[in-house]
Structure 1
């Protein structure tokens, strides 16, 4: 039986934070300005991507620390931090620090797997332990335990004039309930549910089955959501956020509309069949008026399962494009989906 769509409760957006290598400060400032705009427009959350050795945000926790001091209400998330690049203990300290600075608004999204282009970066990243590093779910479990207050050391107490804790400091009590897992397979959805995390599902899923099988992205995504909730202690109430590329055009100029349509058309071929050895299946980008987008989303089987989203901004657009898209999302698309701006 098809699910019944619910009014959209939380509206968020995701940005990659690209910058010109000749002026990286301006790109980072643009990202912070976009987050500030999101808060003024009433968005519930702003999320940043994570990129290493590319011209995007390499340190999302630092960027969100800055954003926390320029906003007061909007939730701040990462989508996602690939843990293969991180030491879970050090990351737990950084996340707790920024969560406290933000007043409890941090929503860290995480993923597993070897770092991208691992053979090329292994000697710089893990020169002594590259062949023995575990890039699977155990790395997430370690971070979960540390954030949630399990001991990191078998020593605590006073040594000379110094006082030591056996758990990560600072400790932010609510952070353990705001950790998200970014997953695209049934196995990852199940694992996230079993470990009491929240679940981020994006415009990419993993296709299972033979090559000749017809694939329906939304049906696969819905199966992930249901698998996650079936294994989560909170069941149907477990938090899931959907992150598709959605581009409303209500106030866009003719030039912007043409450019947005061209962007989506160039990316459409990758949605017809699984891509690469990982068999990744991509969702089509959604471009149109808010009325058109709302109709398409309400018909989407996966969207009908959720009541919060973090729509992804296209990677390569200009700052003024993001202003137009976010403004239309908040004033046109969100209300058409039953959402009300936060105050």
Structure 2
């Protein structure tokens, strides 16, 4: 296998946390058990997606707070919280509280833009301000300021028996350096770098300067670092879908292959008005997947990943996939598991 990439330094995984609407506890418990398994296997990080008005995790802060009490080492992240649904000051309070509970293990990832299906939800979400809400990068900047300890009000001091602060409380000093921006465009990569954030790049990018997925993603990585004060040391995490089959049953292999084949047509050309390009799902043995990753232009320039688990698989499938990633694929990429 050609060693054309630096050894993988951090290995993480991402889950959407699906659940049955008739029995939501079971799905949430499965997510927590998956995170616990990730820690036992030595993963460096576990990330959860964020879904509103769907059967996926709608409150990652609450889920990760629960996960923080079941784990002690693994980092916990969001990939990503869509800020169009959030008040930056209130979210800053929640994130700081969660970071305190995790002992400084939180990695919040965020993104911008109007909420999905905004015309259908705006009256419920912003009944009096839907036409004036700002969904631009300014919303991220406000969150950054609050998390990093900038003043939120011109009032502080004692009023009766109560003490008031002029900045968000609790303040978690290291959290500001662990904020991530999930971006799919060249401008997002540049903006994240300019504001000293970390950068999450996933299996979806915008076909702005090319129609080759790896080339587009590579340009985003380089643009981000070119605009970041830390340059080539700025943190980038790549989030492709990988499905190792080393210990899978014949039935699982067939299911995985069928899943990937159904999703393959969308990878051929840009999709929709936004010209979104999707990466191929990587299915095969760990050695086969490692070979394909070493041939991926963007992967060769990063040393952190958060491989995405497929949305619709069963808990036993996730156990097999995570175990193979940790015991076979990770080592094939030069990674060493963390120790409890």
The within-5 A match list for 1:62-211 is 62-208=62-208
Report the CA distance between 1:208 and its aligned residue. Answer: 1.4
Q: Residue 270 of structure 2 contacts residue 276 of structure 2 at CA under 8 Å; is this kept in 1?
A: yes
Runs of 4+ residues deviating >4 angstroms: none
List runs of 5+ in structure 2 lacking aligned partners.
Answer: none
Alignment of 1:314-325 (within 5 A): 314-325=310-321
Residue equivalent to 1:256: 252
Q: Take 2:226 and 2:6, find their aligned partners in 1: how far apart are those partners? A: 19
What is the DSSP-based 3-state SS (H/G/I as helix, E as strand, rest coil) of the residue aligned with 2:143?
helix
Q: Render the CA deviation track for 1:213-239: whole Å, top value 9, x for unaligned.
A: x71100100000000000000000000
Which residue pairs with 2:213 in the alignment? 217
* In structure 1, distance between residues paired with 2:272 and 2:291: 32
- 2:302 maps to 1:306: yes
CA–CA separation in structure 1 for the residues paired with 2:241 and 2:288: 14
CA contact (8 A) 2:13 2:47 kept: yes
SS at match of 1:310: strand
Whether 1:35 aligns to 2:35 is yes
Tell me whether 1:226 sits opposite 2:202 in the alignment.
no
Task: Measure, in 1, the Cα distance between the counterparts of 2:274 and 2:61.
Answer: 28
Q: Residue deviations 1:304-341, cap 9 Å, x none?
A: 01000000000000000000000000000000000000
SS of residue paired to 1:108: strand
Q: Is the 8 A contact 2:4 2:294 kept in 1?
A: no
Give the one of 223, 243, 246 matched to 1:247: 243
Corresponding residue for residue 336 of structure 1 = 332
Query: What TM-score does the superposition give when structure 1 sets the normalisation length?
Result: 0.97
Structure 1, residues 115-169: CA drift from partner, whole Å, max 9, x if none? 0000000000000000000001000000000000000010000011110000000
Q: Structure 1 unaligned runs (5+)? A: none
Cα offset, 1:278, TM superposition: 1.1
Q: How far off is 1:4 after superposition? A: 4.9
C-alpha deviation, 1:48, in angstroms: 0.1
Which residue, 286, 309, 322 being the options, matches 1:290?
A: 286
Provide the secondary structure at the position in 2 that maps to 1:332: helix
